[in-house]
Amino acid sequence: MPIEFNQQIIEEFRANGGKVGGPFEGARLLLLTTVGARSGARHTTPLGYLPDGGGRILVIASAGGAPNHPAWYHNLVANPLVTVEDGLFTYEARAVVLEGAERDRVFARAAEANPGWADYQAKTTRVIPVVALAGGGPPKAGSASDTLKRVHDMFRRELSLIREEVTESGTGLGAQLRVNCLTLCQGLNNHHTGEDIAMFPFLADRYPELAPTLERLSREHEKIAALVEELREVISTEGADPPLVLAEVERLTDELERHLDYEERQLIPILDM
């Protein structure tokens, strides 16, 4: 992309919490900052990404099917420690270039979800690299209440994207969409487990009057966990029916939205004290 166009996207992304208009509206988008292989200067590039589970996300060095790898790819090969902005959090990550069968499998998964990747590969003789970005440290956020709200907004955004993807999936559920759903499920499980074993006991000790609220939130965690498990089962079924998956996603969305709204009303004022 032209430098001026990229800069407009970067500024819009940062000003609107990761939301942009134009050709990238509604897409999974991040800002990747690499260190120049020759200059040592920091360079930021907007990129589409794919969830991969296991604490990884994927970016693809397509350069629109150009004959050469993009500059950001050469930078991260020379300096694998990069900075990722996802619109809600900024964090350090380590870049790993996927090789061989793993690269081919992941690229095929991406191309199934978006045939544009296959079109780019067809335009060039080079093998388009796939890069995994694994979080290398805690996200940079503000107060505890700000972090909680950002995590909640992350789940809201991902559920909205998944609902749209399932709606547009046609008669079958692709491999990448399954990964998207399973990554969300694991993320929710990890977040609620962390609250149950760390944040809620801490708040209960400091604010005994919160006991009824925390008990309700814990019960809601159990209900959401059951819905997550039902979604997992549907997704994992051979020939999963998209309308059935969509129904499960909507059930989870409705319950989770009520839970997140209640938790924010009850806990953010306490966390801000």
What lies within 8 Å, CB to CB, of 14 at 6+ separation is: 31, 85
pLDDT of residue 76: 97
Helices and strands (H and E) in the chain: how many: 9, 7
Beta strand 42-48 pairing with 29-35: antiparallel
The more confident residue out of 53 and 230 is 230
Helix, strand, coil share of the chain (percent; to 5): 60, 15, 25
- Inform me whether the pLDDT recorded for 189 exceeds 70: yes
**Averaged pLDDT for residues 86-108:** 95
pLDDT of residue 22: 87
Q: Buried b vs exposed e over 94-118: b needs ≥16 C-beta within 10 Å?
A: ebeebeeeebeebbebbbebbeebe
- Among 85-99, 162-176, 200-214, the minimum mean pLDDT is found in 162-176
For residues 79 and 35, the answer to whether their CB atoms sit within 8 Å is: yes
Confidence band for 237, pLDDT divided at 50, 70 and 90 = confident
For residues 48 and 18, the answer to whether their CB atoms sit within 8 Å is: no
Cα angle 182, 25, 123 (rounded to 5 degrees) comes to: 85
Tokens representing residue 145 in the block: 């209440």
Please report where in the chains the tokens 């979800």 appear, as a residue.
113
Residue (of 183, 189, 209, 186) closest to 267 by Cα position:
209
For residues 248 and 231, the answer to whether their CB atoms sit within 8 Å is: yes
Rounded CA-CA distance 121/133 in Å is: 21
Percent of the chain with pLDDT over 70: 97
For residues 110 and 176, the answer to whether their CB atoms sit within 8 Å is: yes
- Inform me whether the pLDDT recorded for 141 exceeds 70: no
- Inform me whether the pLDDT recorded for 169 exceeds 90: no
The mean predicted confidence, pLDDT, of the chain is: 93
Alpha-carbon Rg for the chain in angstroms: 20
**Averaged pLDDT for residues 87-111:** 95
Residue (of 151, 158, 33, 161) closest to 89 by Cα position:
151
- Inform me whether the pLDDT recorded for 167 exceeds 80: yes
pLDDT of residue 137: 60
Write the pLDDT tens digit of every residue in 16-68: 989 898 888 888 999 999 999 999 999 999 999 999 988 899 999 999 999 99
Confidence band for 71, pLDDT divided at 50, 70 and 90 = very high
210: which DSSP letter?
A: G
- Inform me whether the pLDDT recorded for 186 exceeds 90: yes
- Inform me whether the pLDDT recorded for 133 exceeds 90: yes
Residue (of 56, 53, 65) closest to 30 by Cα position:
56
Distances (CA, A) of 188 to 27, 56, 221: 21, 15, 9
pLDDT of residue 271: 92
